[in-house]
Chain A
Amino acid sequence: MRPFELKKRHSGLKEKVIRFLLVSAAVVSILTTFGVLFSILFEAIEFFQMRSFWYFITGTEWSPGVADSKFGALPIFSGTFVITIIAMSVALPVGLGSAIFLSEYASPFMRDHLKPLLEILAGIPTVVYGFFAAITVAPAIVHFFGLFGIHASFNSALASGVVMGIMIIPVISSLSDDVIRAVPDSQRKASLALGMTTSETIKSIVIPSALPGIISATLLGLSKALGETMIVVMAAGLRPNLSWNALEDMTTVTVRIVDALVGDHEFNSPDTLSAFALGLILFIVTLVLNVISLSLIRKFKEKYKINTL
């Protein structure tokens, strides 16, 4: 009996140690999210103790680094908004169109070969997109509008918006493709048997059924666009510009965060801390988008009882 007992006690201890390690690992994973939140939150609070929160949200002048510095982020938000809208108006139709083609029209052979190509698009580092936007797309836009005598900036919102849109295509197409394929085939058959054409079936039956998933994908893409940094740092401007003209240069939240933190500033100055205030806004907005997106996709899964998405 004895050796058995010994062994049992030994494995019991080992078991406990391993369990403890596993729990600690899980705890670290949780702490990370809170770490991100609190590290940003504390510095942001410090900023708002120095500067007015209200002016930050509604003010229209952003002028750090000068004696009478002002931190009104409205033109930064508007620039972010314009570039995001441009990006989404490229990514949504193309991403959704691609997803529909892959899931409804493409033969298995085409699908097997086209999908990995789209995934390559998702794997390209954003710094590469940024280089492409700055070196190839932005001059092309200036040149193109120049033909019509329209002036466009070399840091136009259009250039970074379009390239950002291309970057987001796979985000939207991949998730949409999954949800569209998850719509039961019986729905399509029922519609076709009523004498509907393929496109009528897709538009009236398949897409509405997959809509929660598609919206979820869109929100995810939106959150990616808002948080995208390298493309705008390289191709968009630095100038806070409250304008709707996509051919002008504009700046974004992420660009100003980078600008505030690169270079030798004193850490506790409002110039540096303003980056954390902007970061806090970005964190909250993307978190809300993500939470909505996740709850939509969960509802979709429950509806069709899928566990694999």
Chain B
Amino acid sequence: MKKNLKTKVSVKDLNLYYGDNQALHGITMDIYENQITALIGPSGCGKSTFLRCLNRMNDLINSVRIEGNIIIDKKNIYDRDVDEVAVRKRVGMVFQQPNPFPKSIYDNVAYAPLKHGIVKKGPACDELVEKSLIQAGLWNEVKDKLSEPGTSLSGGQQQRLCIARTIAVQPDVILMDEPTSALDPISTEKIEALMLELKKDYTIIIVTHNMQQAGRVADMTAFFHMGDLIEYDDTETIFINPTLKKTEDYITGRYG
């Protein structure tokens, strides 16, 4: 589609079943490096389910069965020799509700890198925490209270802490599942600005209900409906000149 961009994630014929119900039908799409890709569509269209396939979070649900390939950096993450824990380390995730751990702000960020052995306790760890918080645009607000619990922050700050926590593991891809739907407009704006900043270093895939948000931040937009990928293109194309009538109807708010 875009020749100057490098494909980061390549999804091929992805089918997903909850027990006997098929929730995703043969999804095929390429997601490009250092771009923000938005997944839009009405509730229950499968966009969040699809997002969770990308870091194998669906493996946690017993009844889920997945067919097809998701190739990240030339390796199918559903291959037998791939450890889902390692996948999640390289594909980070930010959730809808800010969910900092009931630990200090510092420990929230340092927890995973320490466990992964990315850094050892001490100055290196301090540095990583600082770097991650700076990248998440939270450093100035929390630098004097790193030992306070993460849950003491405001909702928007908590969500940025969750982002800092995710980037501290140094992933390649960051998945965001409606990251601003629980936040106020000002916090939302900050997170959106942060996303635009982060895409320099990461590939970001975001599920959103908010059409304007997709328009503001996303480079590429994919429209899902009833478990099908209906249309996937430049955000501009999708919003201004969609190929399909269905997409246009959704974008213009005729249903959804």
Contact = CB atoms under 8 A, between A and B. Distances in A.
Interface of A: 184, 186-187, 189-197, 200, 204-205, 208-209, 303
Given A200-B115, A204-B111, A194 B89 contact: yes
A192 B87 CA distance: 11
B162 A190 contact: yes
B166 interface: yes
Given A187-B101, A189-B57, A204-B115, A194 B88 contact: yes
B99 A184 contact: yes
5 A-B pairs with least C-beta separation = A195-B89, A194-B112, A193-B93, A186-B99, A195-B88
Given A197-B85, A205-B101, A192 B57 contact: yes
Nearest to B175: A193
B116 interface: yes
Contact of A194 (B60, B97, B103, B169): B169
Contact of B111 (A184, A189, A194): A194
B250 interface: no
B92 A194 contact: yes
Given A193-B93, A195-B169, A200-B115, A208 B102 contact: yes
Contacts of B99: 184, 186-187, 189-190
Contacts of B93: 193
A189 B93 CA distance: 9
A189 B58 CA distance: 11
B95 A186 contact: yes
B93 to A, nearest CB: 4
Interface SS of B by simple majority: helix
B47 interface: no
A151 to B, nearest CB: 48
Given A184-B99, A189-B57, A209-B102, 4 more contacts: A187-B102, A194-B89, A195-B112, A208-B103
Contacts of A184: 99
B88 A193 contact: yes
Contacts of A197: 85
B223 to A, nearest CB: 25
For the side of the interface on B, what is the size category?
20 to 34
A64 B219 CA distance: 88
A193 B60 CA distance: 11
29 contacts: A184-B99, A186-B97, A186-B99, A187-B99, A187-B101, A189-B60, A189-B95, A189-B99, A190-B95, A190-B162, A191-B101, A191-B112, A192-B57, A193-B88, A194-B88, A194-B111, A194-B112, A194-B169, A195-B85, A195-B86, A195-B89, A196-B85, A196-B112, A197-B85, A200-B115, A204-B111, A208-B102, A208-B103, A209-B101
Nearest to A193: B93
Contacts of A205: 101
B157 interface: no
B235 interface: no
A185 B169 CA distance: 21
Contacts of B34: none
B55 interface: yes
B149 to A, nearest CB: 11
A208 B111 CA distance: 13
Contacts of B60: 189, 192
B160 interface: no
B225 interface: no
A195 B113 CA distance: 10
Nearest to B112: A194
Nearest to A196: B115
A208 B95 CA distance: 21
A205 B89 CA distance: 17
A27 B51 CA distance: 59
A193 B101 contact: no
Which among B87, B90, B92, B112 has the highest number of chain A CB atoms within 10 Å? B112
Nearest to B90: A195
B102 A194 contact: no
A125 to B, nearest CB: 40
Contacts of B57: 189, 192-193
A196 B97 CA distance: 20
Contacts of B92: 193-194
B85 to A, nearest CB: 5
A139 to B, nearest CB: 47
Contacts of B162: 190
Contacts of B102: 187, 208-209, 303
Nearest to A209: B102
A184 B100 CA distance: 11
Interface in B73-109: 85-90, 92-93, 95, 97, 99, 101-103
